[in-house]
């Protein structure tokens, strides 16, 4: 029975726990057999957590791009139905006329999308349908230490990774702006140097995962150029 919808952990076969150093570890967990969510309760939750849920859901599209990239490079295999579920869930929010987290119909769509993302991970047997380079960026920020929420961090990570893939990063920035999510380092409460450092160190958080960050061989020069070009710094 979730009281917040700040991320897709409300219905997920993956538990993300932090060790003593603040490093995130993704562990296999058991998905709930059922989930009951009261929209009245969700609507009364802190607005920041509702916005963060949108960030985590929309970041699925970045994760899916990285999954396709890994498959094209022969690093992994695709699970088509899991891909479809995650993609459909995220697109429903991106294409929604409303981006108002006070709108209960919009909240319902976001909540359903987060649940579908969890189901997609269960089907795939991995967090791949919902986690790519943007999540590595978030995990790196967790290790460094920030006060930002997960969904806020992956939103900024989505902008950066989409730019590196040559995708329409401005679309994501517009969506996040409409929702009220941070779209730059300042909004996350971090310095420009911390943002660049997190992007450079991101691949170390998931050495078993192939994303655009590994593909381009992310370094300080590439990270800084991406962050400046997108207005993250």
Give the model confidence (pLDDT) of 117-150 as tens digits: 999 999 999 999 999 999 999 999 999 999 999 9
- Assign 42 to helix, strand or coil: helix
Instruction: Kindly report the CATH number assigned to the domain that includes residue 103.
Output: 1.20.1090.10
Angle between the N-to-C axes of helices 60-72 and 133-144, in degrees from 0 to 180, rounded to the nearest 10 = 120
DSSP 165: T
Provide, rounded to the nearest whole percent, the portion of the chain with pLDDT above 90: 82
DSSP 173-219: HHHHHHHT---SHHHHT--HHHHHHHHHHGGGG-TT---HHHHTT--
Q: What phi and psi values does residue 110 have, to the nearest 5 degrees? A: -65, -45
Residue range of the domain that includes 15: 8-229
Quickly state the pLDDT bin for 27 (edges 50, 70, 90): confident
pLDDT in tens, 184-212: 999 999 999 999 999 999 999 999 999 99
pLDDT over 90 (residue 17): no
| Of residues 67, 81, 54, the one with CA closest to residue 150 | 54
The span from the CA of 99 to the CA of 209, in Å, is 32
Q: Does residue 101 contact residue 180 with C-beta atoms inside 8 Å?
A: yes
- Examine residue 2 and state whether it is found in any structural domain, yes or no: no
Nearest Cα to 181, choosing from 69, 79, 16, 56? 56
Higher pLDDT, residue 96 or 31: 96
- Between the CA of residue 41 and those of 1, 37, 90, 173, what are the distances in Å? 10, 8, 22, 28
In a domain, 1, yes or no: no
| pLDDT range class, residue 183, cuts 50, 70, 90 | very high
Residue 209 token pair: 């995962």
Burial class (CB in 10 A: 0-12, 13-18, 19+), 210: buried
Domain count, the chain: 1
Task: Look at residue 17 and tell me if it is in a domain.
Answer: yes
- The answer to whether residue 136 sits within a structural domain is yes
Reply yes or no on whether the pLDDT at 20 is more than 80.
no
- The verdict on residue 134 lying in a domain is yes
**How many Å apart are CA 133 and CA 160, to the nearest integer?**
9
**Residue 49 is assigned to a structural domain of this protein:** yes
57-88 pLDDT, tens digit each: 999 999 999 999 999 999 999 999 999 999 99
Residue 178, phi-psi category: left (phi > 0), alpha (psi -120 to 50), beta (remainder): alpha
In a domain, 3, yes or no: no
Question: Residue 52 — pLDDT band, cuts 50, 70, 90?
Answer: very high
């Amino acid at each position: 029975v979730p009281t917040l919808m700040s991320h897709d952990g409300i219905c997920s076969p993956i538990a993300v726990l932090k060790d003593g150093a603040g490093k995130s570890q993704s562990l296999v967990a058991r998905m709930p057999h059922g989930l009951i969510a009261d929209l009245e309760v969700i609507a009364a939750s802190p607005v920041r957590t509702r916005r963060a849920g949108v960030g985590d859901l929309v970041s699925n599209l970045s994760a899916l791009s990285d999954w396709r990239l890994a498959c094209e490079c022969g690093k992994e295999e695709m699970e088509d139905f899991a891909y479809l579920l995650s993609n459909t869930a995220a697109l429903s929010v991106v294409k929604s006329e409303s981006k108002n987290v006070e709108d209960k119909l919009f909240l319902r769509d976001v909540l359903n999308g987060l649940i579908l993302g969890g189901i997609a991970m269960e089907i795939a047997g991995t967090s791949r349908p919902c986690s790519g380079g943007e999540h590595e960026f978030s995990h790196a920020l967790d290790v460094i230490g920030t006060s930002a929420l997960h969904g806020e961090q992956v939103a900024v990570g989505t902008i950066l990774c989409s730019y590196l893939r040559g995708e329409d990063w401005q679309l994501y920035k517009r969506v996040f702006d409409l929702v009220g999510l941070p779209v730059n380092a300042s909004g996350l409460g971090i310095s420009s140097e911390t943002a660049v450092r997190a992007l450079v160190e991101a691949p170390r958080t998931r050495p078993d995962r192939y994303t655009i960050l590994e593909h381009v061989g992310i370094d300080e020069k590439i990270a800084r150029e991406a962050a400046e070009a997108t207005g993250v710094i």
